[in-house]
Chain A
Amino acid sequence: DAGVIQSPRHEVTEMGQEVTLRCKPISGHDYLFWYRQTMMRGLELLIYFNNNVPIDDSGMPEDRFSAKMPNASFSTLKIQPSEPRDSAVYFCASSFQAGGLNQETQYFGPGTRLLVL
């Protein structure tokens, strides 16, 4: 398996523009997670899905952020409008959990480095 795939790897945009980040989880994994990593706050969970359904979006910073998972092999994280403080590395991770979140590890993608000018 190619692992978790994220695109783009780098994104530079201007404040106010819409940004869409994409993720393809590992085939067969039924959990998908979106994280944001900054120097100040470290790694923060934004939202996670189970079987394409959003389970917990309490980490989504504000209404400018939205995430979707239309099918088991694709998810998007959208920021509209983007602001300079959104600059960070955004990671997608997936896992397979037979009985819940308690047993298995997560596999991370390489991340998308976002810079909002």
Chain B
Amino acid sequence: KQEVTQIPAALSVPEGENLVLNCSFTDSAIYNLQWFRQDPGKGLTSLLLIQSSQREQTSGRLNASLDKSSGRSTLYIAASQPGDSATYLCAVNPGNQFYFGTGTSLTVIP
């Protein structure tokens, strides 16, 4: 069974700082990997989707990379803002269902 781990579990940074969130997975046989954002009391919102053939995806201040062979992905957030405060989850898709990590809770301090 695919296991997805996210480190750190929580992160607190001052506004303006660049930061990296990490995701690792045990089985490299995946079709894609997604990063989601979850605000308190809300559902998940997809941020970036990386297909297995891709190495990175960018959207605005967000950049996600994928190293399938080593079972790792990173989410880079540039010039962090208080509005970025949320829980970030990664999910891998081996083809039949999505396996989620437990998330990184990010707090950006004004």
Given contacts A43-B89, A48-B97, A56-B96, contact A105 B46 (CB under 8 A): yes
Cα A50 to Cα B32 with chains together (Å): 19
Within the complex, the shortest CB–CB distance from B52 to chain A, in Å, comes to: 8
Q: Which of B10-18, B37-45, B67-75 contacts A (4 or more CB under 8 A)?
A: B37-45
Task: List chain B residues, Cβ under 8 A from A103.
Answer: 32, 51
- Decide if A42 touches B42 in the complex (CB within 8 Å): no
- Decide if B101 touches A45 in the complex (CB within 8 Å): no
Show the binding face of B for A, using Cβ within 8 Å.
31-32, 34, 36, 41-46, 49, 51, 89, 91, 93, 95-103
Cα A100 to Cα B98 with chains together (Å): 13
Given contacts A42-B103, A43-B89, contact A106 B42 (CB under 8 A): no
- Given contacts A91-B43, A107-B46, could you give 9 more A-B pairs where the C-beta distance is less than 8 Å? A4-B43, A42-B102, A45-B98, A56-B97, A100-B95, A102-B93, A106-B34, A108-B44, A110-B41
Show the binding face of A for B, using Cβ within 8 Å.
4, 33, 42-45, 48, 56, 59, 91, 93, 100-111
- The interface centre, meaning the residue of A4, A43, A102, A108 with most chain B CB atoms within 10 A of its CB, is A43
Please count the residue pairs between chain A and chain B whose beta carbons lie under 8 angstroms apart in the complex.
Answer: 55
- Decide if A91 touches B102 in the complex (CB within 8 Å): no
Give B44's nearest chain A residue, CB to CB: A108
Give A58's nearest chain B residue, CB to CB: B97
- The interface centre, meaning the residue of B36, B43, B97, B103 with most chain A CB atoms within 10 A of its CB, is B43
- Decide if A106 touches B101 in the complex (CB within 8 Å): no
Give A3's nearest chain B residue, CB to CB: B43
- Decide if B95 touches A101 in the complex (CB within 8 Å): yes
Cα A42 to Cα B98 with chains together (Å): 13
